[in-house]
Structure 1
């Protein structure tokens, strides 16, 4: 019984140290903005993504594996890599961010889209969607967390290679988008490329905003 009390006290102390108000607010706000953009802009305009989401669509098309199976498997693999290279603090905040993502998706789905559809203006949809994702994910990544497997994978690549986070995002997104040309029209890929370039830049900008270059580089690693 005494051991359980000690364990409970230790866990509470670690959680209190990890989830300070700034971290919680940033993750909640970031996941709200990200999911709002995905639901109100990307889904209406049918703009695809790179990274894990694009890889899920690619494997589903060519291998016929269900997206409902691919999504948790690829996300879990990314999180395991993140835990190995980024530590348990990353895993704790990322689990919280993932729960927030699911919760906000559920919230938005209770209502019809509140933004006008940009399906007839795919370029503007790509720009708007990239801004929502870039700002939202940037707020989450700034706290050393991940919205989904895409962020975890980019953070691990940045850790291993020493690249800026924007370059790591572009690498994963462009790789998947190039492979996706095997079944997606070039025109649609171009709009997706606009989105990932904008979101990658904004994530990097927000992650390093107001931080000395040396400190920002160290925290990305």
Structure 2
């Protein structure tokens, strides 16, 4: 399984020899990232899929609780905000909180603003995962992230020496395994593809040397 999007996104490793982003550019990128993540979640939800990380947990709970996926995403993420501060600092934590608020807002707007009547799981897995990956990438390039289990894995790596990538893979596998109790096995298989699509975006473009802003 590819590296987790959350683990990748919270470790930017960007070169600092480019032109810094303005505050308005940061705000715009965070809005764009939130919109893309909310849209990707809507696509996965329409196809009855889950995915890895905190997004997967939110999707899984959304099949049991009548709340927008983005709202659940934010509520479940609340305990992880403290880990974001410990792992990446206060600035990153506050931006993560803002991102979660934005995802909750746009997810709620999407729920009442449009309706996806039908989505083939193959398309939803690839397109939805790709859109979420691009949203996470936009956030990471502007020193923000979605929080979640990736923050905990980074914290465990720094404090106990656990490999963050391997820990996140174990968590993602546990989430997918738990989803068998809620969704059909074939949906779980497509869900694994969605997680791979998210990671593929970050593996391809979230690397030092591919970007000079910070």
Q: 1-side partners of 2:86 and 2:169: how far apart?
A: 22
The higher relative CO (CA closer than 8 Å, separation ≥ 6) is in: 2
In the alignment, what sits opposite 1:33?
36
In the alignment, what sits opposite 2:84?
82
**Contact 2:49/2:187 (CA < 8 Å) preserved in 1?**
yes
Q: CA deviation at 1:101?
A: 1.3
- When residues 152 and 96 of structure 1 are mapped into structure 2, their CA distance, relative to the original with a 3 A threshold, is same
Q: 2-side partners of 1:123 and 1:158: how far apart?
A: 34
Q: 1-side partners of 2:185 and 2:209: how far apart?
A: 38
- When residues 135 and 153 of structure 1 are mapped into structure 2, their CA distance, relative to the original with a 3 A threshold, is farther
Q: 2-side partners of 1:156 and 1:66: how far apart?
A: 32
Q: 1-side partners of 2:129 and 2:106: how far apart?
A: 18
In the alignment, what sits opposite 2:25?
22
In the alignment, what sits opposite 2:114?
112
In the alignment, what sits opposite 1:45?
47
Q: CA deviation at 1:77?
A: 2.0
- When residues 141 and 78 of structure 1 are mapped into structure 2, their CA distance, relative to the original with a 3 A threshold, is same
- When residues 171 and 22 of structure 1 are mapped into structure 2, their CA distance, relative to the original with a 3 A threshold, is farther
- When residues 159 and 54 of structure 1 are mapped into structure 2, their CA distance, relative to the original with a 3 A threshold, is same
Any stretches of 5+ residues in structure 2 without a counterpart? Answer: 1-19
Q: CA deviation at 1:18?
A: 9.7
Question: RMSD between aligned alpha carbons?
Answer: 3.9
Q: 2-side partners of 1:58 and 1:111: how far apart?
A: 22
TM-score (norm 2): 0.69
Q: CA deviation at 1:206?
A: 3.6
2:113 alignment partner, SS class: coil
Residue 132, structure 1, aligned to residue 131, structure 2: yes
Q: 2-side partners of 1:107 and 1:180: how far apart?
A: 26
Q: 2-side partners of 1:110 and 1:202: how far apart?
A: 29
- When residues 22 and 48 of structure 1 are mapped into structure 2, their CA distance, relative to the original with a 3 A threshold, is same
TM-score (norm 1): 0.67
**Contact 1:82/1:155 (CA < 8 Å) preserved in 2?**
no
**Contact 1:138/1:204 (CA < 8 Å) preserved in 2?**
no
**Contact 1:164/1:204 (CA < 8 Å) preserved in 2?**
no
In the alignment, what sits opposite 1:8?
none
Q: CA deviation at 1:170?
A: 4.2
**Contact 2:40/2:131 (CA < 8 Å) preserved in 1?**
yes
